[in-house]
Amino acid sequence: MDFFDICENWSRDQIENEQVVRLKKSITQAMKAPFYAKLYKDAGLSADTIKSPQDIQKFPYISKEDLRDNYPNKLACVPVSEFVRMHCSSGTTGSPVAICYTKKDIENWASLMARGMYMTGIRKEDTFQNMSGYGLFTGGLGIHYGAEHLGCMTIPAGAGNTKRQIKLIKDFNVSVVHVLPSYAMHVAQQVQLEGTDPKTLPLRIALVGAEPYTDETRKRIEDILDIKVYNSFGMSEMNGPGVGMECQEQYGMHIWEDSYIIEIIDPETGLLLPEGEVGELVMTTLGREGMPVLRYRTHDLTRIIPGDCACGRKHKRIDRITGRSDDMFIMKGVNIYPMQIEQVLMAFPEVGQNYLIQLEKEGLKETLRVKVEVREENFVEDMRVLRALQDRISRRLHDEILITPVIDLVQANSLPVSEGKAKRVIDLRNN
Ligand code: ADP
Ligand code: ZN
């Protein structure tokens, strides 16, 4: 079967030789769309420019704006009658972009997804529950098709309705789930509230992704449920989920380089960064026929992990995504990413599963308020203990982000839980 076929074991040479062949084809294919044809012709570029994978650096970047400008299907490189599906990005940072897929694109995507799942140890004997929202979001059908391709009995549970999710897990002996990090924490908490020890659920693996989370959060989900959590990465522009997945080493996500080229650039200067340095991920589809996307600036911040993975696969790994360049907020002149805050919070055993960052302004005074859920058993403690906890969190955060936040300790389960991607930051400064 193709999900653990030979290309998973390719050497670097094999990967790079195939990349050249596929990149040339992708450029020719992309130039069937007037946007790419003009962009490349004006710069004197074509498939013939490519002699090695590095020659891709001669091509201009494209941005989310370019995809938005060409909405809904002006980037089509096949007759629109060849399309069998469309999806949209979630629109986390603005109006969504649309991607249309041919039958072959859908099959390739399912195969990539299945390959990633297989790598984590999922097999056809597993029962798989997909807790992503279905519909336009690629996390629904994208993961679903991958799981079916692998041969798993697949439950399209969708997002939300936590009680039903838990019942399905128990009734159908579900061994693997795909779930957003924020929702995984919520489900675990709900299981506890129902009086069940989450460790007794039949789960053994969770694929967790679609939004940033820290290693501390991963450890928490693993401990509460007594499972293995594998980071799963993707974006609609690159198909959807299945672009990158952690192997059992749990150290970085392998990107299937027979189907994608990855580069890391300095987001300010646009210059290529050496392996190991953190910057913006730029991605290129290889082999997508309906809507190839070439040298796309993802805004996601990560680094390529140098060296070979202990698992033996030669497909490069990217590190945990720390956020998007547009997630950053500035408070009192300091650049802050929400994940810096999550990392500190989740290291406190007293801290519960959810938090919310609120940016406030009164006159000229700016305040960074962090609302933090405290575990049920810790919330009953006397005021002095809670005050001391507040101070410790505030001091640790100050060490990390260099400004002193106001910490509100709140009861477990009291902050809003999103069915989709969590909204971690609320900016009230311009109200
Ligand atoms: P949108 O960009 O509007 O959220 P998508 O639903 O296509 O649309 O989401 C893709 C984005 O989700 C990625 O670009 C990235 O920012 C984020 N993402 C996906 N998987 C992960 C992950 N495992 N870790 C961190 N961020 C992720
Ligand atoms: Zn590996």
pLDDT in tens, 123-181: 999 999 999 999 999 999 999 999 999 999 999 999 999 999 999 999 999 999 999 99
Q: Is the CB of 132 under 6 A from ligand 1?
A: no
pTM across the whole model: 0.95
Angstrom distance (rounded) from CA 207 to CA 258: 22
Q: 317-354 as b/e, with b when 16 or more CB fall inside 10 Å? A: bbbbbbbbbebebebeeeebbbbbbbbbbbebebbbbb
Q: Are residues 215 and 358 in the same domain?
A: no
Three-state secondary-structure class, residue 44? coil
In the predicted model, is pLDDT for residue 381 greater than 90?
no
Beta bridge partners of 36: none
Q: How confident is the model at residue 94 (pLDDT cuts 50, 70, 90)?
A: confident
Q: Are residues 236 and 361 in the same domain?
A: no
Q: For residue range 34-77, what is the model confidence (pLDDT) as tens digits?
A: 999 999 999 999 999 999 999 999 999 999 999 999 999 999 99
Query: How far apart are the CA of 416 and the centre of ligand 2, in A?
Result: 36
Q: Are residues 297 and 342 in the same domain?
A: no
Pairs from 393-397 (Cβ < 8 Å, separation ≥ 24): 393/344, 393/345, 393/348, 393/351, 396/344, 396/347, 396/348, 397/341, 397/344, 397/370
196, 49 contact by CB (below 8 A): no
Single-letter amino acid, residue 79: P
Q: Are residues 411 and 263 in the same domain?
A: no
Q: For residue range 11-29, what is the model confidence (pLDDT) as tens digits?
A: 999 999 999 999 999 999 9
Last residue of a domain, one of 325, 340, 365: 325
Range of the domain at 409: 329-427
Closest ligand to residue 314's CA = 2
In the predicted model, is pLDDT for residue 1 greater than 60?
no
Which protein residue has the closest C-alpha to ligand 1 atom 14? 235
Q: Are residues 208 and 333 in the same domain?
A: no
Per DSSP, 2 falls in state G
Q: What is the mean pLDDT of the chain?
A: 95
Which of 229, 180, 174 lies closest to 203 in space, CA to CA?
Answer: 174
Closest ligand to residue 244's CA = 1
Q: Please enumerate in sequence order all residues whose Cβ is within 8 A of that of 216, keeping only pairs 6 or more positions apart, or say none.
A: 342, 343, 346, 347
Residue 298, both tokens: 């993802």
Four-residue CA torsion sign, 269, 273, 278, 279: positive
Last residue of a domain, one of 325, 357, 378: 325
126, 108 contact by CB (below 8 A): no
Residue 90 sits at φ, ψ, to 5 deg, of -70, -20
Q: Are residues 284 and 378 in the same domain?
A: no
- What value, to the nearest 5°, has the Cα angle with vertex 109 and ends 17 and 325? 85
Bridge-based pairing of strands 304-305 and 317-318 is antiparallel
Number of domains forming the structure of the chain: 2
CATH number at residue 388: 3.30.300.30
Output the CA torsion 26→30→36→40 (10° steps). Answer: 40
Query: How far apart are the CA of 383 and the centre of ligand 1, in A?
Result: 40
For residue 388, the tally of other CB atoms under 10 A from its CB is 11
Q: Are residues 342 and 266 in the same domain?
A: no
Residue 190, both tokens: 């709900």
Last residue of a domain, one of 325, 349, 370: 325
Q: Is the CB of 337 under 6 A from ligand 1?
A: no
Q: Are residues 320 and 236 in the same domain?
A: yes
Residue 178, both tokens: 């795909």
Residue 91: its pLDDT value, please? 84
Three-state secondary-structure class, residue 366? strand
Q: Are residues 315 and 195 in the same domain?
A: yes
Atom of ligand 1 nearest to the CA of 244: 23
Q: For residue range 218-263, what is the model confidence (pLDDT) as tens digits?
A: 999 999 999 999 999 999 999 999 999 999 999 999 999 999 999 9
Q: Are residues 363 and 274 in the same domain?
A: no
Which residues have CB atoms below 5 A from the ion given as ligand 2? 247, 249, 309, 311, 313
Q: Are residues 231 and 358 in the same domain?
A: no
In the predicted model, is pLDDT for residue 187 greater than 50?
yes
Q: Are residues 131 and 212 in the same domain?
A: yes
Q: For residue range 382-430, what is the model confidence (pLDDT) as tens digits?
A: 899 999 999 999 999 999 999 999 999 999 999 999 888 999 999 999 8
Query: How far apart are the CA of 95 and the centre of ligand 2, in A?
Result: 35
Provide the residue count of the chain.
431
**Cross-sheet strand order for the sheet of 406-411:** 406-411, 365-374, 351-362, 425-427
Residue 2: its pLDDT value, please? 47
In the predicted model, is pLDDT for residue 5 greater than 70?
no
CATH number at residue 174: 3.40.50.12780
348, 324 contact by CB (below 8 A): no
Q: Please enumerate in sequence order all residues whose Cβ is within 8 A of that of 316, keeping only pairs 6 or more positions apart, or say none.
A: 254, 255, 257, 262, 304, 305
Residue 172, both tokens: 């159908």
